[in-house]
């Protein structure tokens, strides 16, 4: 059935979008920071172009970028939407001090690291599992047949990387450790926070 808004065809152009995104972001960062001095826009464009070509020439890097990009877009969209709602209810543009708060920067760094860890795991996890076992090829991690030993049964010695990670995370001992670490982190945060009165 043909749909009016069928976005499946956009997947064929993902390499072009990835190239443009890497080029624009890297060129913008180089133009902002100016690591080689003023008036070097041509050099910055060549460096950004070279990195964009290298990023699309590797299938792994291309998969990593296409995995993490929607998550970063979603974070940015949610941040802009929250600011938009606050501005509707009276927050002035000069009162917004984005980036000035160390807590905001800490949360942005934490979320960035988490997204990168999940992206690297999704990109290189199954390949590292197969290479670690010495198995040539392997199965597609998205296709899990019932009864082939890859169900979520607590075993972390299966042939599927995603199943191994899920079984490790939802292990009762790991969940208990996560709860203890969260309680400790919140205790340190609340006990060391200074009162602003």
Predicted confidence (pLDDT) per residue in 96-120, tens digit: 665 566 777 788 888 888 888 888 8
> Average pLDDT of 73-80?
89
Number of H helices, E strands in the chain: 6, 0
> What digits encode the pLDDT tens for the residues 11-28?
677 788 888 989 999 999
User: Which helix (H) or strand (E) is 64 found in, with range?
Assistant: helix 59-88
> What digits encode the pLDDT tens for the residues 55-69?
888 888 888 888 888
Q: Over 70: is that where the pLDDT of 164 sits? A: yes
pLDDT at 1: 44
Q: Note if the pTM is more than 0.85.
A: no
Question: Among 108, 103, 101, which Cα is nearest to 192's?
Answer: 103
Domain ranges of the chain: 1-57, 59-192
How many C-beta neighbours within 10 Å does residue 46 have? 12
CA angle 74/103/189 to nearest 5° reads 120
Distance, in Å, from the CA atom of 119 to the CA atom of 163, rounded to the nearest integer, reads: 16
Confidence of residue 48 (pLDDT cuts 50, 70, 90): very high
Token duo for residue 26: 């890297």
% of the chain with per-residue pLDDT over 90: 12
Distance, in Å, from the CA atom of 165 to the CA atom of 97, rounded to the nearest integer, reads: 39
CA angle 102/29/107 to nearest 5° reads 25
How many C-beta neighbours within 10 Å does residue 20 have? 11
Distance, in Å, from the CA atom of 79 to the CA atom of 42, rounded to the nearest integer, reads: 33
Q: Over 60: is that where the pLDDT of 157 sits? A: yes
């Amino acid at each position: 059935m043909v749909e009016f808004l069928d976005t499946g065809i956009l997947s064929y152009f993902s390499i072009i979008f990835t190239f443009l995104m890497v080029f624009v972001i890297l060129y913008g960062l180089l133009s902002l920071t100016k690591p080689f001095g003023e008036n070097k826009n041509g050099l910055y464009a060549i460096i950004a172009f070279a990195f964009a070509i290298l990023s699309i020439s590797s299938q792994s890097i291309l998969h990593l970028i296409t995995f993490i990009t929607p998550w970063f877009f979603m974070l940015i969209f949610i941040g802009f939407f929250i600011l938009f709602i606050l501005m509707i209810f009276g927050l002035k543009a000069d009162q917004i001090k984005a980036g000035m708060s160390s807590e905001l920067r800490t949360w942005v760094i934490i979320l960035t690291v988490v997204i990168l860890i999940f992206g690297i795991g999704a990109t290189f996890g199954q390949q590292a599992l197969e290479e670690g076992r010495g198995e040539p090829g392997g199965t597609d991690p998205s296709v899990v047949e019932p009864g082939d030993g890859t169900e979520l049964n607590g075993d972390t010695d299966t042939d599927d990387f995603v199943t191994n990670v899920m079984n490790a995370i939802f292990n009762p001992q790991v969940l208990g450790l996560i709860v203890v670490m969260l309680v400790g982190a919140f205790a340190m945060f609340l006990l060391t926070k200074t009162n602003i009165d």
